[in-house]
Amino acid sequence: MTSFHFIVLFICASLFGGVMGAYFGTVDHRVRHDEPLITTGCYCPSCRHKLPVHHQIPILSWIFLKGRCRFCHEPIPVRYPLIEGGFLLFYGVSFLLLWRRPLVLAAGWYLFFTALLLLRCQGHYRSAFKGWCIFAGYHLLFTALLGIILAALSE
Ligand SMILES: [Zn+2]
């Protein structure tokens, strides 16, 4: 594996973390309110206005929108970019530490989001389980792809 390949994979793992963080920010709220976890579009929890894609970019959208909903001007809690940044860092750092052992890396990510969902669901286990299935699906796809690429590059 060349250093270019390594950097690309590191960036992909970090960005995957950022996107999962953004989704976790949404799921975290919806699980505790038993709201649907898959909707056609993301919406503002205050005014329910559908958010365009460029308002949903992890961390950057919060900065670009100056921490307020563009439609109702309600503040967007700072926990959202912090969760996204935390996920991005965690996925990036864990990739750096464990990329030679992709199964351990995948297991670590599964443990991470399972623990977070359980800690945050406040007894809404049914919704949390639905959220877990969605996270598991995304992670299964991403880690399978990552494993195939790592195997191909190690030859
Ligand atoms: Zn709003």
First to last CA, the chain: 8
26 C-alpha vs ligand 1 centroid, how far in Å?
14
73 C-alpha vs ligand 1 centroid, how far in Å?
6
60 C-alpha vs ligand 1 centroid, how far in Å?
17
108 C-alpha vs ligand 1 centroid, how far in Å?
35
40 C-alpha vs ligand 1 centroid, how far in Å?
17
What average pLDDT does the segment 128-144 reach?
Answer: 96
Amino acid making up residue 115:
A
50 C-alpha vs ligand 1 centroid, how far in Å?
9
State how far the Cα of 25 lies from the Cα of 1, in Å rounded to an integer.
34
- pLDDT tens per residue across span 91-109: 999 999 999 999 999 999 9
> Is pLDDT above 80 for 23?
yes
CB 50 within 8 A of CB 43: yes
- pLDDT tens per residue across span 70-88: 999 999 999 999 999 999 9
Quote the pTM value: 0.91
CB atoms within 10 A of CB 48: 9
41 C-alpha vs ligand 1 centroid, how far in Å?
14
Looking only at Cα atoms, what is the longest distance across the chain? Answer: 54
- DSSP letter at 54 equals G
75 C-alpha vs ligand 1 centroid, how far in Å?
8
